[in-house]
Amino acid sequence: MRGHLRIKSPLSQLGLFLGIFGVAYILIGVLSVLIYQANGISIASLETIDWNNPHFISISKWVQALSSVFLFILPAYLYARFTFTGNYSYFLGFRNAEKANMYVLAVVGILLAIPFVFWIGKLNEGIPLPEGLTKLEQQAGQQMAAFLKIRNPFDIVVNVFIIALLPAIGEELCFRGALQRILIQVTRNPWAGIVLTAVLFSALHLQFSGFLPRMFLGIALGAFYWFSGSIYTSMIAHFVNNAVQVIWASYAPDVIEKNPEIPVLAAIASGIVVWAILWFFQKQSTVTWAKVYHTDELTPFDQFIA
């Protein structure tokens, strides 16, 4: 039974998703400008922005929160709404993981990946960038440093919510719940779809000094989702990774601009452990391409997991 699919072609689904995402990108850009103007703030030039202005930072955090909703959560929902019938959240991955230990393994894996992530981040810093991109990177660093500056204890709670929790929910729904599902079907290969999604996930952040570590994390998160069958698994891991970095950078702001030095042996050990966890994930999983996409005999509430 395929009645739960309104749009059967994965390429058509991809076109729909990209169209929705493009419209959302334009709308959030317009909405951001209107919000700043309504609060008497000019953002005509990023170079003239006063990153020490508490009022500007407060408004910017609201804009950041709205961006997570309108740019990531809303397109994922609309994609599911236009593509499927039935339980949209189920189709986006809101179901239990195949094994309960997968939640713990995902968190442990993402934490143990930190040394390797910092190490490849250090390698990424050595890649020369054009002057225009270098300026954008510097401005992004200034913005993050301003966001994470602690003025009172409540700032940590706000930052974890806006910079860690909302992006973890929104980006996982958008990239893993929607885009990865499409790309795995297009490529007919789970790992190809996972890696391609991770590349786009990293590129769309428009921060190329962190492209490689973000891509690596995207691969790990994509694998956690695919092999567990649950978007909760990758969301939790994503949130933990974001929260650790937010809290760490709040008290050690130097890591915003520069990755800490990591011994090569520690980085290698970290990478091997993460690979072992992903291998164990795959070993436990019963998810297959056919089980997910050969849906002729399935109902909207039976095994259609990604």
Rounded-to-integer distance, Cα 259 and Cα 115, Å: 10
**Statement: residue 189 has pLDDT above 60:** yes
State the average pLDDT over residues 221-250.
Answer: 93
Task: Report pTM.
Answer: 0.90
Residue-averaged pLDDT of the chain: 85
Q: What is the pLDDT of residue 265?
A: 94
pLDDT-derived band at 173, boundaries 50, 70, 90:
very high
**Statement: residue 7 has pLDDT above 90:** no
Rounded-to-integer distance, Cα 255 and Cα 239, Å: 18
Classify residue 63 as exposed, middle or buried by CB count within 10 Å of its CB (0-12, 13-18, 19+): middle
**Statement: residue 299 has pLDDT above 60:** no
**Out of 190-204, 209-223, 227-241, 287-301, which region has the weakest mean confidence (pLDDT)?**
287-301
Q: What is the pLDDT of residue 43?
A: 67
pLDDT tens-digit map of 97-144: 989 999 999 999 999 999 999 999 888 887 777 776 677 677 666 777
